[in-house]
Amino acid sequence: MPYQVRQFKDEDIKSVFAIAKWLHKNSRYKDFDLNKVKLTTLFKQSLKEDSPTQLLVVTQKQTGKVVGYFHGYVGKMYFGEDIAANDLAVVLLPKHRKEAKQVLQIIFLKFEEWAKSKGAVEITIGASTRSNGPGYNSFLNKEGYSDMGFLVEKRIR
């Protein structure tokens, strides 16, 4: 596979923000603000050893160029003290999606291992950007994730 997945490093900040900017522009969120300071603070939070967030980057093996990332977190569930893990963003730039299945399998395995190490009892993954590929839900189901509930939107401004 011509890609590798590794932990985010401080020197990845510009590349990861550029991909976040692409995601923002090419998603249903394009009409909402994009706050560089907020995002870069969230990215850098994952650098701390005890962080409740994890940021994995996808790089091309030959060039080292960042072409995607997975940003997730852990936190207490609504009803009690159990820990759940969730994604914040999963993005692989479109021209690199031919290898998406293999890349995503590695990403999700690493996230699942990290989530378990943080005490998570459940992982939930969503897709609300409208920029995911057509096979993403099917991929998640094949990886053991079950459809549950639904997500709806209503713009009020």
d(CA 121, CA 136): 23
pLDDT at 139 over 80: yes
At the fourth CATH level, the homologous superfamily of domain 3-142 is Gcn5-related N-acetyltransferase (GNAT) (3.40.630.30)
Mean pLDDT of the chain: 95
Q: pTM value?
A: 0.93
Which region holds residue 119: left if phi is over 0, alpha if psi is between -120 and 50, else beta? left
Rounded to 5 degrees, φ, ψ at 3 are -130, 160
Domain map of the chain by residue range?
3-142
Please check the confidence at residue 1 and state whether its pLDDT lies above 80.
no
pLDDT tens across 83-109, in order? 999 999 999 999 999 989 999 999 999
**86 φ, ψ to 5°?**
-140, 155
CA distance 53 to 120: 12
